[in-house]
Structure 1
Amino acid sequence: MENVIRTYQLNKEFKEETALQSFDFALQQGEICALIGKNGAGKSTFFKMLSGQIAPTNGEIQLFGKTKNEHARARQRMGFMIEEPKFFGDFTAEQNLEYFRIQRGVVEKARISEVLKMVGLSEHTKKKFHQYSMGMKQRLGLALCLLSNPDCLVLDEPTNGLDPEGINEIRRLLLELNQERQITILISSHILSELQLLANRFVFIHDGKMVEDISKTDLENKCKKQLKIKVNDSAKTSQLLERTFRDIDYRCLVDGWIIIHSHVDQGAEINALLHREGISVSEVMVEDVTLEDYFLKLVGGTAND
């Protein structure tokens, strides 16, 4: 299987800040890979290096097996959506895409109506860009990515500004592009529940370093059920759990919630123990582990720090 993207010991430094360090990454043809990290983790820096917007401090990037001198040609096979796309405010969707079609040497003019239909903008082609909502702007940005029939899409927050229906439509479109047209996709989003439905591989990045690279199958095996309890005294509960279950795996959330990842089948026993020790338990539930749960357990904190 061909490597679409390959990096070796990639580093990026900004003055005294290291944004990305020792980043070894490979994306194979046909994958949908989600890059997951908090704000400032290095995701956008990595995407900008792939697109050529910024240069690495050191390390190597290969695109379709091509090294630095041939990157411009390799990027013609890729569509990038990084930050808010830059369009002409007084142009319609058709006029904006016509400008980029000529600029990028796309021969078929009919491709404009094709991509506008694909992203659900067929009924808004005459409206000026400055009249577009944030969600419509994102759709037009995706249409621009698709204009040159790319083999790979690199998408940074492509569903930003979309309502739930729009997010669902974009997810269906990306799955269709991947499954029917074999387009490889590298994507980031703060909506981790969407990534869980879309991606078949997950790469977690924290403080500029890759902390885990895991397939969807392996992630699902790790994301077993968890026990969630709400108590009136988290500190006392923590001490009690650690004394009783030496190998317990848990974390405390706000408002008295405690998530227990191990001993889930002993929920009744844990509940009885807490009651005996005078701890008030207001809620107990067993739930599936989400991608966000897994991510927060891996790096700590909150998803959008």
Structure 2
Amino acid sequence: MEMMLTVQDLTKRYHDFKALDHFSMNVEKGAIYGFVGRNGAGKTTLIRTICGLQAPSQGTYTLLGRKHNDPKIAKSRRKMGAVIETPSLYRELNARENLEVQLRMLGLAESAEIDRLLALVGLSEAGRKKVKDFSLGMRQRLAMAVALAGDPDFLVLDEPVNGLDPQGIIEVRELILKLNQKHQVTVMISSHNLDELARLATVYGFIDHGRMVKEIAADELEKTCRKCVELSVGSPEAAVETLESTGADYRVTAADTVEVYGEIGLSDLLLKLAKNGCAVLSMKARDESLESYYLSLVGGRDHE
């Protein structure tokens, strides 16, 4: 299999703090790679490192066939586009002018490519509108158009739907799918919106405290995710006491809600809850969510 990105034992230190700690990952060509981790886990540090904005303290990575210390790594980066944190756009310029600036920096011809990029991200009718008058979703799509200048094979997106309204989220999702499925662009997405990421990703990488916890394909994850029963209870304290006494695998997900995993004797559990003074207000069976799966991997630990 061909890899767009391979990271091996990468460490990034800031004085005594390790933002990345012997981190390894593999992004296969054609994938939509969901990069999952909480604030401070190391996601943005990894993205900034592979974009060449900072050097690793230790370890190596290979981008589109070239190692990071290869004198020709810039050629690989020309085939990579990225939107990192807040989109960098000229607010007083319009969409066309923003793209003109980017294309000039890349030494590329302008007019036909600008029209193609605006059409690709659904901004053909807004090309002469100033960016300061754009909605957040429009700015995000323009930032992606800027990242796509030069026709990259690999696109890296850091929180692409952060702050967007439902319509904006749908627009960005459809654009990512179109880029991947119709234009064969490999995409790596770092996101806190796990429900949205689950609609896109073909493979996941879970990072915690600067280390890769697990890489797993979406179809394998679907098989792995455990079945659970979600209980809304009148007394969470009594529910926890009962579940602890039975040795059940459970997680408290809200003030009055617990999820119980695995094969359970439901009738027996309900009887024990009732005897312990815990009323069950509602109950539903469902599969484990991506968020629950991630928390089960990292043990619900808080970041230091």
Question: What code does the residue aligned with 2:223 have?
Answer: N
Task: Kindly state the Cα deviation for residue 208 of structure 1 after the two structures are TM-superposed.
Answer: 0.6
Give the Cα separation in 2 of the matches to 1:41 and 1:239.
32
Equivalence for 2:64:
64
Equivalence for 2:164:
162
Contact 2:100 2:110 in 1 (8 A): no
Larger mean Cα displacement after TM superposition, 197-206 or 56-65: 56-65
Equivalence for 1:189:
191
Equivalence for 1:299:
298
SS in structure 1 at match of 2:82 = strand
Q: Does 1:10 align with 2:10?
A: yes
Please give the per-residue CA displacement for 1:4-56, whole angstroms capped at 9, x wherever unaligned: 11111100011221100101111111111100000110000000001011111
Larger mean Cα displacement after TM superposition, 293-302 or 254-263: 293-302
Give the Cα separation in 2 of the matches to 1:87 and 1:151.
22
Question: What code does the residue aligned with 1:253 have?
Answer: T
Equivalence for 2:255:
255
Contact 2:194 2:291 in 1 (8 A): yes
Compared CA separation, residues 86 and 277, structure 1 to 2 (3 A): closer
Give the Cα separation in 1 of the matches to 2:302 and 2:202.
20
Task: Kindly state the Cα deviation for residue 108 of structure 1 after the two structures are TM-superposed.
Answer: 5.1
Larger mean Cα displacement after TM superposition, 52-61 or 166-175: 166-175
Please give the per-residue CA displacement for 1:234-258, whole angstroms capped at 9, x wherever unaligned: 33323322333x4x21112331211
Equivalence for 2:154:
152
Contact 1:296 1:303 in 2 (8 A): no
Contact 2:9 2:23 in 1 (8 A): yes
SS in structure 2 at match of 1:197 = coil
Equivalence for 1:281:
280
Question: What code does the residue aligned with 2:212 have?
Answer: M
Contact 2:35 2:43 in 1 (8 A): yes
Question: What code does the residue aligned with 1:37 have?
Answer: G
Contact 2:32 2:200 in 1 (8 A): yes
Give the Cα separation in 1 of the matches to 2:135 and 2:199.
25
Identity percentage of aligned residues = 38
Give the Cα separation in 1 of the matches to 2:238 and 2:86.
48
Contact 1:227 1:285 in 2 (8 A): yes
Task: Kindly state the Cα deviation for residue 303 of structure 1 after the two structures are TM-superposed.
Answer: 10
Compared CA separation, residues 146 and 241, structure 1 to 2 (3 A): same
Report the count of equivalent residues. Answer: 302
Contact 1:2 1:64 in 2 (8 A): no
Task: Kindly state the Cα deviation for residue 277 of structure 1 after the two structures are TM-superposed.
Answer: 2.9
Equivalence for 1:43:
43
Contact 1:85 1:138 in 2 (8 A): yes
Give the Cα separation in 2 of the matches to 1:115 and 1:272.
62
Give the Cα separation in 1 of the matches to 2:98 and 2:104.
10
SS in structure 2 at match of 1:273 = helix
Contact 2:23 2:211 in 1 (8 A): yes
Contact 2:209 2:303 in 1 (8 A): no
Contact 2:159 2:192 in 1 (8 A): yes
SS in structure 2 at match of 1:198 = coil
SS in structure 2 at match of 1:110 = helix
SS in structure 2 at match of 1:54 = coil
Give the Cα separation in 2 of the matches to 1:77 and 1:71.
10
Give the Cα separation in 1 of the matches to 2:175 and 2:266.
41
Mapping for residues 1-305 of structure 1, pairs under 5 Å: 1-67=1-67, 68=69, 69-107=71-109, 109-244=111-246, 246=247, 248-264=248-264, 266-301=265-300
Task: Kindly state the Cα deviation for residue 225 of structure 1 after the two structures are TM-superposed.
Answer: 2.6
Q: Which runs of 5 or more residues in structure 2 are unaligned?
A: none
Contact 1:90 1:129 in 2 (8 A): yes
Q: Which runs of 5 or more residues in structure 1 are unaligned?
A: none
